[in-house]
Amino acid sequence: MRFIASLILCVSALLAGPASAQIMDVQITGRAPLPSQTDPENLLYLDLSDGGRVTIWLRPDAAPLMVERVKTLTRQHFYDGLTFHRVIDGFMAQGGDPKGDGTGGSSLPDMKAEFNFLPHVRGAVSSAREGDKEDSANSQFFIMFAPRLSLDHKYTVFGRVIDGMQYVDAIARGEPPAHPTKILHAYIAADHPPAYTPPPVEVAPVPTLDLTLPGAKPAPMVVKVKPAPAKPAKAAPKK
């Protein structure tokens, strides 16, 4: 009975939201040390245009190469201004492409796959790749809206959202979205980034009203010129 109860607990934690991630991450002999959720070197901030900051717990113990790549690109400000170009409701939000159409990447070489023990649950952050090419991950990534365990051991999970999942849920849907959500800035917490700053509000120009009646001809413009005052005659010089 204890075994069944433990099994139910594990499955519940697996399907739960991002805040329960730490329950499943038990240290296993032979694996790299589990990084702390408070270690600023392994916390990635994504400031989104939809209103807030997303905190991602990076997992170098499970995907050291991909974590190092994301840190490098973040510190190069590569992700600043990029959009989530492919967002499927109930599935995931994909971003990290400078072209914005799913075909782009960084100037760095593609990465070797690091399929691991981390599951594709809600809030999981995984590296995108080119079609069936397993070793083609580069800069693109996706964040899961809901569990999709069929992706396990096919894509490299390298982190998980631990705060700000509501801003992930608010990412504009579409392939591509009509008005895509942007990554305003990406930071590593250890670099002491500033607090989240919302994007400037764009004010639409006020249209001018045309009060001319249909068919009416505009009145000619009359310009009145005021004559210059007459100059007084100069007195004749005395002889």
For the segment 184-210, the average pLDDT, to the nearest whole number, is 87
* Residue 7 in domain: no
Give the length of the chain: 239
* Residue 162 in domain: yes
Pairing state of beta strands 92-95 and 43-48?
A: unpaired
Residues 6 or more apart whose Cβ sits within 8 Å of residue 117: 62
> Which of 33-47, 83-97, 209-223 shows the lowest mean pLDDT across its residues?
209-223
* Residue 170 in domain: yes
Residues 6 or more apart whose Cβ sits within 8 Å of residue 52: 164, 166, 167, 196
The CB-side HSE value for 122 (13 A sphere, CA atoms) comes to 19
Tokens representing residue 75 in the block: 């510190």
The chain-wide mean pLDDT, for the chain, equals 86
Better-scored residue on pLDDT, 154 or 17: 154
Task: State residue 23's pLDDT score.
Answer: 37
* Residue 230 in domain: no
Task: State residue 32's pLDDT score.
Answer: 85
* Residue 210 in domain: no
Task: Count the domains in the chain.
Answer: 1
Share of the chain above pLDDT 90, in %: 69
| Burial status of residue 46 (CB atoms within 10 A of its CB: 0-12, 13-18, 19 or more) | buried
Q: For residue 221, give the 3-state DSSP assignment.
A: coil
Pairing state of beta strands 141-144 and 92-95?
A: antiparallel
Better-scored residue on pLDDT, 142 or 230: 142
* Residue 134 in domain: yes
Residues 109-128: tens digit of each pLDDT:
999 999 999 999 999 999 99
Domain that includes residue 153, residue range: 42-190
* Residue 24 in domain: no
Task: State residue 137's pLDDT score.
Answer: 97
* Residue 174 in domain: yes
- Domain with residue 183: its CATH number is 2.40.100.10
